[in-house]
Structure 1
Amino acid sequence: MTTTKLISVFGASGQQGGGVVEALLKNSNFKVRALTRNPDSESSKKLKEQGVEVVRCDDSDSKEMIQDALAGSYGVFCVTNYWAYFEKEVQYGRNMADAALAAGVKHFVFSSLTPMNKISEGRISVPHYDQKYEIEEYVRELSKLNSNTFISSFVYAPGYMQNFLTFYPPKKNDQDGTFTLTTPSDPNGKPLDIGDISEMGYIVEGILMDPIKYSGAVIPISGDCLTGPQIAEIYTKVTGKTVNFNFIPPSVFRNLKFIHNSDAIASMYEFCNQYGAFGNIDKSIAPKIHKLKSFEEFLIKNNVKLE
């Protein structure tokens, strides 16, 4: 008789954690515990209605408090929030890993990111990427020191397809009724890896189902790899509206003060234009675990229209 395994999910009300919760709820091998700073929020209430156990826990809690919140968990999905804690993210991430180990967690799945500073040999620093990689290195060391009891695996998020609906939506040109998509993705550089971030959940599910196979693995998620003009062409095909692409160089984007975090985003695109979002990391694993949507499929599923 198979024992149902409890998986605790950090960031369960966010895009990554929410996708993990959704995928795991469909798998009878797992029970889900959502870790959230506010168990009384509307999103927490919805999770409870789905049969999810909701426990108060925040990244900034003490190691002991996090350990208590993880008690009884077989596995953990951990995503940290740079934009909430900035330079403290690394220490909080280490605390979460230490707490998981102390709580007897067997499999720790961490949402890391490409080490842009390391790959570019110090030329391009992107803190919200590089700090997650620092946490990844720490988790790897914990697994090495506790190899018989503590497995770790790592998923890397792509550019969110959702951002092309919210952060970079095509803008209508009043003069002729066409639309323009503007991003710092260089048409002459590397294509951009993008994905429906909700599908991360199915990759995490696959990792948790086969811990030995994915022990120590780095699994980037990429449903499509496209240049800016190709993204515009797909928008045109799906919506029936003419969408043109406008490249704004990272050096210009960096100085757009009306864009929140424009400097970090510019550095991220500077890296991606030169090396691709994942450098030379193998992208073939995730599609073998779960069929990932193309950008065209994503737009169709979301019934995207341009008005």
Structure 2
Amino acid sequence: MAKTIVVTGATGTQGSSIVRVMLETGEWKVRAVTRNPESDAAKAIAAKGAEIVVADYDDEKSVKKAFEGAHAIFALTNWWEYLRRGHNQEACGEIEERQGMTLARAAAEIPTLEHYIWSTLPAAKEITGGKHPVPHFDYKAVVDRRIRDELPALAAKTTSLFFGFYPSNFAYFPMLKPMPVPFAPGRYVWLVPSKKEAKVPISGDMTVAPGVFVRQILANPSKTHGKYAAVCAEVCTLDYLLKTWSEVTGKTGVFMEISVESFAALLGVAGQEAALQLKFGEAVPDWYEHVKDQFVSKEELGITVAEIADFRGSLEALKEHLG
């Protein structure tokens, strides 16, 4: 009999990949959690065979109902959603922590649960001794710690899954895209509040990679329970990212370092938050060093770069959206 995985955020970037890949295994029933079952995205995954359920992260009762009978749960929260709603960075984090713990507490009460996968990011403030806080990283990391401290039985069957830089940011996240120079046709400038030599982990093709990692984590519980893993195909310099974008698009990209203050002045609070992430990456070239003793690599999970795509391959798949 097929087991059931519940996927929160099922219509988003991470969730939709997981829904598709887990359905393709033929070994799992997929229950997709959304707030809007009438959305086109929800209807699309329902058409592929997912069960659609409605839950609100601020309503613990609805979350528990969505989790009933689950053997595995993929849980994530969305800090950026609340920034778009007008909350400040710390308020977004407080909401994220509250909702993350609602998900965790609900999961801890499910007697059938065998594996909990929590979508997270490094504890930037802690790692850098307070020098480089990144709210949309740090509050997820607080949930990591609280699961370990407050819900030890759940922690023992949890895999905390880091996500690196999405290649799709070059297509769909305007503040991180090279911008055309009006008076120089074919030339683009990439304004970045970081040095071009700074390194970032690359998640790979986001339509594929999240699902592949979740599939392999669930297939290897003895390796992944109580551990960290990262959706990461490779680690690249920012300069390499732009050069690869130029080669894939056939356009000339010019890297231009800009101060955090100027970037925030141009792009507001969202720009400030993106800048904080990039400055953290500049200071910490290995995002996962702090959990190396608890870390499971993609190789240990049987995942190849060919399956999830490197940065170049990810951009090639997005080529029509890179203009």
TM score, norm. by length of structure 1: 0.90
CA spacing shift, 1:128–1:142, aligned 2, 3 Å: same
| CA distance in structure 1 between the partners assigned to 2:57 and 2:74 by the alignment | 13
Q: Cα offset for 1:134?
A: 1.0
Matching residue of 1:70: 67
Matching residue of 1:295: 311
Native 8 Å contact 1:250 1:269 kept in 2: no
Native 8 Å contact 2:7 2:32 kept in 1: yes
Native 8 Å contact 1:153 1:215 kept in 2: yes
Percent identity, aligned pairs only, is 27
CA spacing shift, 1:175–1:83, aligned 2, 3 Å: closer
Which letter maps to 2:303? I
Which letter maps to 2:167? M
| CA distance in structure 2 between the partners assigned to 1:82 and 1:211 by the alignment | 29
More helix by share: 2
Segments of 5+ residues of structure 2 without an aligned counterpart are 83-91
What pairs with 1:94-109 in structure 2 (closer than 5 Å)? Answer: 94-104=101-111, 105-109=113-117
Q: Give the alignment partner of residue 98 of structure 2, picking from 69, 77, 91.
A: 91
Aligned alpha-carbon RMSD (Å): 2.2
Matched, 1:164 2:170: yes
| CA distance in structure 1 between the partners assigned to 2:288 and 2:131 by the alignment | 14
Matched, 1:81 2:87: no
Matching residue of 2:17: 19
Matching residue of 2:297: 285
What pairs with 1:106-255 in structure 2 (closer than 5 Å)? Answer: 106-141=114-149, 144-145=152-153, 151-166=157-172, 167=174, 168-177=176-185, 178-188=187-197, 190-195=198-203, 196-198=205-207, 199-255=209-265
CA spacing shift, 1:108–1:279, aligned 2, 3 Å: closer
| CA distance in structure 2 between the partners assigned to 1:49 and 1:134 by the alignment | 36
Which letter maps to 2:211? G
Q: Spell out, residue by residue over 1:276-296, the C-alpha distance to the aligned partner (whole angstroms, 9 max, x if none).
A: 361525587125424332211
CA spacing shift, 1:294–1:160, aligned 2, 3 Å: same
Q: Spell out, residue by residue over 1:69-123, the C-alpha distance to the aligned partner (whole angstroms, 9 max, x if none).
A: 1111101000111234511221221111111111222211000110001101122
Native 8 Å contact 1:194 1:222 kept in 2: yes
Q: Cα offset for 1:254?
A: 2.9
Native 8 Å contact 1:115 1:133 kept in 2: yes
Q: Cα offset for 1:40?
A: 2.1
| CA distance in structure 2 between the partners assigned to 1:274 and 1:35 by the alignment | 37
CA spacing shift, 1:259–1:194, aligned 2, 3 Å: farther
| CA distance in structure 1 between the partners assigned to 2:116 and 2:297 by the alignment | 18
Native 8 Å contact 1:12 1:35 kept in 2: yes
Matched, 1:29 2:27: yes
CA spacing shift, 1:243–1:284, aligned 2, 3 Å: farther
Native 8 Å contact 2:170 2:322 kept in 1: no
Which letter maps to 1:159? F
Q: Cα offset for 1:274?
A: 0.8
Q: Which sits farther off after the overlay, 245-254 or 213-222?
A: 245-254
SS in 2 for 1:254: helix
SS in 2 for 1:159: coil
Q: Cα offset for 1:263?
A: 2.0
Native 8 Å contact 1:24 1:30 kept in 2: yes
Segments of 5+ residues of structure 1 without an aligned counterpart are none
Q: Which sits farther off after the overlay, 70-79 or 157-166?
A: 157-166
User: How many residues in Structure 1 have an aligned counterpart in Structure 2?
Assistant: 300
| CA distance in structure 1 between the partners assigned to 2:117 and 2:25 by the alignment | 17
Q: Spell out, residue by residue over 1:18-41, the C-alpha distance to the aligned partner (whole angstroms, 9 max, x if none).
A: 111111011122110001111222
Q: Spell out, residue by residue over 1:250-286, the C-alpha distance to the aligned partner (whole angstroms, 9 max, x if none).
A: 2432332x34512222211111111136152558712
Which letter maps to 1:213? K
